[in-house]
Amino acid sequence: MSNEIKQNTHANPGPLGLLAFGMTTVLLNLHNAGIIEGLSVVIVAMGVALGGLAQIIAGIRELCQGNTFGGTAFTAYGLFWWSLVLIWTNPFGAAVNNVDAFSLAWYLLLWGIFTLFMFIGTLKHNRATQVVFGSLTVLFFLLAIADFTEIHVIKTIAGIVGIFCGLSAIYNSVGQILNAEYGKTVIPLG
């Protein structure tokens, strides 16, 4: 019998997914808060590459490692970013109506409901993950309310919440990376 401890040789895809989500969320919500004017190609490109592709890759890796929660979260939110870019750019042409505030509000509300259920799942996770999903739930509901009511100040408030949400995801990502690298708690995640 060996005293050797078998080490996991698979990298943790969670930090990549959190970083991709966090950076894209901060960038988009700088726009929602009115700090970046107009829908910049920078936001669209980040949504496709980092928000979409990187999260989908992280999600598939999580699923391959047996993590249903992480796999569902990263894959779903990666596809959220791709669908949002499709909504913004409407590559379907005249065959499909352009987005209106009412239909976008329903889209965001459905994502808010999904995120609320995912937040409930985080109650078994660390505090940092709870903060990410809790603030994301609030963000989706605020964005839906802003589009249902067309009250601009609500979207601005949502943007501030979104910046916080994205920064909390980046914090969680960096914490997981540094804590694993040093083999101890360098950045507390709760």
Residue 53 counted as domain residue: yes
Task: Determine contact, residues 74/62, Cβ cutoff 8 Å.
Answer: yes
Can you tell me the distance from the alpha carbon of 102 to that of 10, in angstroms, rounded to the nearest whole number? 44
Residue 159 counted as domain residue: yes
Residue 187 counted as domain residue: no
DSSP code of residue 151: -
Amino acid at residue number 153: V
Q: What is the pLDDT of residue 1?
A: 45
Taking alpha carbons only, the member of 7, 6, 26 closest to residue 162 is 26
Amino acid at residue number 26: V
Residue 23 counted as domain residue: yes
Neighbouring C-beta atoms of residue 66, cutoff 10 Å? 8
| Block residue for tokens 């990502």 | 173
Residue 188 counted as domain residue: no
Task: Determine contact, residues 125/154, Cβ cutoff 8 Å.
Answer: no
Domain count, the chain: 1
Residue 128 counted as domain residue: yes
Q: What is the pLDDT of residue 7?
A: 58
Q: What is the pLDDT of residue 8?
A: 60
Can you tell me the distance from the alpha carbon of 87 to that of 101, in angstroms, rounded to the nearest whole number? 12
DSSP for 127-171, written as a single string: HHHHHHHHHHHHHHHHHHHHHHHT-HHHHHHHHHHHHHHHHHHHH
Burial of 120 (0-12, 13-18, 19+ CB in 10 A): exposed
What crossing angle do the helices spanning 127-149 and 152-182 adopt, rounded to 10°?
160
Q: What is the pLDDT along the chain (190 residues), one digit of tens a residue?
A: 444 445 567 899 999 999 999 999 999 999 999 999 988 899 999 999 999 999 999 999 999 999 999 999 999 999 999 999 999 998 888 777 778 999 999 999 999 999 999 999 999 999 999 999 999 999 999 999 999 999 999 999 999 999 999 999 999 999 999 999 999 999 999 9
Token reading at 9: 């040789």
Task: Determine contact, residues 159/30, Cβ cutoff 8 Å.
Answer: yes
pTM exceeds 0.95 for this model: no
| Block residue for tokens 């920078």 | 42
Residue 2 counted as domain residue: no
Task: Print the domain residue range for 51.
Answer: 14-182
Residue 31 counted as domain residue: yes
